[in-house]
């Protein structure tokens, strides 16, 4: 992190698609004077079934784009890249990077419970990063991890009301409930879109969306680092996707209204 970052520079937010908006919407509520750029990598979505090498390549493309925009920080509003690519690329850029899992692990570890469930993508679950990060702070917490490989597709296609998709979600939930977890972390930023289905079969307050912890962590850290924007007016917003802007607008509705979504081919971006 360089010393002379301008605090009035923009903040980047990235995910494979609409999932990142569950974080972004809470961030805007907390800090609406920041200028923000959101990038949804729909061309490569879903991330959860990709290899680490593929994910590192996607992250570098997105981060090079943010670098070309002169950002002061990037929010990895994606558990999958926080688990697999953050450890690889964290020293490659001069701006601050906030990965969701590592930023929230201590807060989750401090929850006064003994048995915790985690729903996440296959890539996140296979990485074991949730367990290792939480156990750094609380080695007594028993963690039950479960991959939900179909859920991102269901969210991006805006089809959680279809019976066949409800059956898929219920089947994954039933498997988890056999372990009797006290709380279940929605360890993929897409999963809060499914809370209405999940809460038909288990108490709503059993599910934890870590994005509220995450945005508070980011705000505190920006404050500590003297990086909060000094403006008093509302911050600007830019939304970009690498494919399907119309599908993005449609699926995003539940969390954030995104009118002006621009299609961007990252391969054409040159780093400055
Ligand atoms: N929303 C992302 C996450 O938190 C990525 C999901 C995906 O594309 O598979 O993991």
Cis before residue 46, ω within 30 degrees of 0? yes
Closest ligand 1 atom, CA of 100? 4
What is the structure's pLDDT at 231?
87
Cα torsion 247, 252, 253, 258: sign: negative
Q: What is the dihedral of CA 28, 193, 38, 94, to 10 degrees?
A: 90
pLDDT in tens, 56-85: 999 999 999 999 999 999 999 999 999 999
80 within 8 A of 189, measured Cβ to Cβ? no
Mutate to test the pocket of ligand 1, among 45, 47, 81 (most ligand atoms within 8 A of CB): 47
- Please confirm, yes or no, whether 36 is among the known catalytic residues: no
CA atoms within 13 A on the CB side of 10: 19
Please count the residues of the chain.
272
- Please confirm, yes or no, whether 104 is among the known catalytic residues: no
The arrangement of strands across the sheet holding 115-120 comes to 142-147, 115-120, 183-186, 207-208
| pTM, entire model | 0.96
pLDDT in tens, 162-182: 999 999 999 999 999 999 999
Q: Is the pLDDT of residue 271 over 80?
A: no
Q: Name the average pLDDT for the chain.
A: 95
- Selected catalytic residue, list 14, 36, 78, 104: 78
187 within 8 A of 213, measured Cβ to Cβ? no
CA pair distance 160, 153, nearest whole angstrom: 10
**Ligand 1, atom 2, residue with closest C-alpha:** 78
Closest ligand 1 atom, CA of 48? 9
What is the structure's pLDDT at 259?
82
pLDDT in tens, 210-253: 999 999 999 999 999 999 999 889 999 999 999 999 999 999 98
- Selected catalytic residue, list 14, 36, 104, 188: 188
């Amino acid at each position: 992190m360089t010393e002379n970052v301008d605090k009035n520079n923009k903040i980047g937010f990235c995910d494979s698609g609409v999932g990142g908006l569950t974080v972004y919407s809470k961030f805007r509520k907390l800090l609406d004077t920041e200028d923000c750029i959101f990038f949804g990598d729909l061309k490569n979505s879903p991330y959860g079934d990709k290899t680490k090498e593929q994910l590192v390549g996607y992250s570098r493309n997105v981060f090079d784009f943010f670098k070309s925009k002169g950002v002061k920080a990037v929010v990895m509003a994606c558990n999958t890249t926080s688990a697999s690519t953050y450890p690889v690329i964290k020293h490659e850029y001069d701006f601050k990077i906030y990965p969701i899992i590592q930023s929230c692990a201590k807060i989750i570890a401090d929850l006064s419970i003994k048995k915790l469930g985690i729903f996440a993508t296959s890539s996140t679950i296979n990485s074991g990063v949730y367990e290792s990060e939480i156990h750094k702070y609380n080695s007594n917490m028993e963690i039950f991890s479960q991959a939900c490989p179909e859920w991102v597709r269901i969210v991006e296609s805006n089809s959680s009301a279809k019976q066949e998709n409800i059956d898929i979600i219920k089947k994954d939930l039933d498997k988890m409930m056999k372990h009797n977890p006290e709380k279940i972390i929605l360890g993929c930023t897409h999963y809060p879109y499914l809370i209405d289905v999940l809460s038909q079969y288990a108490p709503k307050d059993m599910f934890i969306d870590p994005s509220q912890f995450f945005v508070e962590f980011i705000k505190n850290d920006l404050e500590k680092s003297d990086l909060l924007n000094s403006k008093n007016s509302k911050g600007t917003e830019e939304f970009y996707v690498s494919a399907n802007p119309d599908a993005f607008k449609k699926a995003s509705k539940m969390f954030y209204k995104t009118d002006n979504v621009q299609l961007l081919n990252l391969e054409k971006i040159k780093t400055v």
